[in-house]
Structure 1
Amino acid sequence: MEIKVLGTGCKKCKTLEEITKQAVIEVGIDAKVVKVEDMLEIMKLGVLTTPALVIDGKVVLKGRVPSIMEVKELITK
């Protein structure tokens, strides 16, 4: 599984990255978490509001920081 955290480096983007990494550890899945800060790459995915979360190429969340429980639910679907 590949999980991308989209964001330019703001506090909310960094928080989403930390929450996502922690959720992956707690759930115990084999996933690669990648931080994408390049606005062109972010826009190619159709995202205009960050932070955003992309799981296996599909945008599953954008524009807010979710709880760790919500991230766990998203990555185990």
Structure 2
Amino acid sequence: DNQHLGYGHGIHYCLGAPLARLEGQAAIATLLTRLPDLELAADPDDLRWRGGLIMRGLRALPVEFTPVRK
């Protein structure tokens, strides 16, 4: 229950934040269940970040996993 500032605060708090958190949890749980060997494919120190005052994030998140056949 991290009250991340990405969803605002006080009167500016995002009404969709609880749904967004739930969707994120479901997506990550499904991803980790379906790809149990998912791992970072780069040294964490080599990851490059996008700068910015409004949004900050990784330029890329390289991962490796074994594809699952259906």
Give me the TM-score of the superposition, normalised by structure 2.
Answer: 0.33
Greater relative contact order structure (CA < 8 Å, 6+ sep): 1
